[in-house]
Chains A and B, each alone.
Chain A
Amino acid sequence: MDLDTALDTTVKKQESELREMEARKRELQELAKQQRFRPSDEVSTFKLIKSIKEMVTATMTLVSSAKRGFVYVVPAEALVITSLFGINAEAKKLKELGGYAKGITNIAYADIAPAQEVLDIGEDLRHYPDYGGIYFAVVDKKHCVSAINVDIKRISLNEPISMIWTDDSTYADYLCSTFEMLWEQSVPAAERIQELLKRGSPQT
């Protein structure tokens, strides 16, 4: 193929891609228009959560009132909090009643015990290495808490965090879709724990 033909092919390909993008834009605009004008009698609310104490209270309320189940993506430190403040006990009750509990976290050697505790109560837990996104949880595909800024330096009820709580079902759908994508990309926690145990403590 000579240079002119190669250039011509490239230009044609790009023109075709741009046309395809314009067509997709119109389709998406139409879809968004339909969704925005879809009548809804639901009223959604949201509020800010500003400390671990408020997060524990909100999570406890949500998990204990869950009818179907919950999914979450959290830092491993949060598994210590769910254990200490009785959220795991509520999750266990939900599992015994047939509910679902699926979680994703980043498990290091120091997190084996809290991760194992979550597995022992029957939750489906997975490991996602070096997760760099936003942490969140969704209960009954409706109630959501998602982080604005969660950098837990110590496990204390007064530790400041910024999270948003909402019962907007569209937002819940969005978080659930994100969760499903991450779930596919993660590995079972039990596998990860075995791997870490085989490797041994990084300090020894």
Chain B
Amino acid sequence: MASGTIIESVKDAIAVASTIMESAEKEILWLLPPAMLVFGAQYGLDEKSKMLIEKGGRVRGVTAISGTYRDIVRKHLEIGEDVRHVDQYRGAFMLVADKRESISSLNVSIEDLSLDDRVVAFWTDDSSYAEYLIATFEDAWKEAVDAKKRFQEL
């Protein structure tokens, strides 16, 4: 099982996500509350994603797209990410790179998430834990709808 580091704030989670994204060579998967995308953009995480895609990597993401978050999701699509929308997701949130390094959380408040909030997340490079997260991601991916289709609904 996974040995790793426990992260206890939204800001630290973003710092870790940034580190993971910098080290990614092939693929990033993310399943995040939409507010995290806003914070990520604030700290340049979308730039890291763009760099990976320009090098031939792939980025897939799942989030809950509402009118409030339409623009931020559109930016992710513009840099070449594949993004899907999921309704009322209940489960772990995560960012996984190259089927190995990950940061995930068992419970993140989807509404009213702020940069100063406390979250508890787990950062590990254990590939068996990544496998477990990827299985969860793929289930959500299958259930989710294409972001562009969601835009039309909105």
Q: A interface vs B, CB < 8 Å?
A: 14, 17-18, 21, 24-25, 28-29, 31-32, 35-36, 40, 44-46, 131-134, 136, 146, 148-149, 164, 166-168, 170-171, 173-175, 177-178, 181-182
Contacts and interface: CB of A to CB of B under 8 A. Distances in A.
Contact of B90 (A24, A28, A132, A168): A132
Given A24-B15, A175-B106, 9 more contacts: A28-B5, A28-B19, A132-B107, A133-B107, A148-B135, A168-B1, A174-B4, A177-B120, A182-B107
A129 to B, nearest CB: 12
A18 B44 contact: yes
A25 B88 CA distance: 32
Please classify how large the interface on chain B is, using the bins under 10, 10 to 19, 20 to 34, 35 or more.
35 or more
Interface stretch (B66-74, B77-85, B121-129, B146-154): B121-129
Contacts, number: 96
A193 B21 CA distance: 46
A133 B139 contact: no
Contact of A181 (B92, B110, B120): B120
A21 B107 contact: no
Contact of A132 (B14, B19, B110, B136): B110
B122 to A, nearest CB: 5
Nearest to A173: B6
13 contacts: A14-B42, A18-B43, A24-B15, A25-B15, A31-B5, A35-B4, A132-B88, A133-B91, A133-B92, A171-B1, A174-B6, A178-B106, A178-B107
B125 A36 contact: yes
A149 B137 CA distance: 12
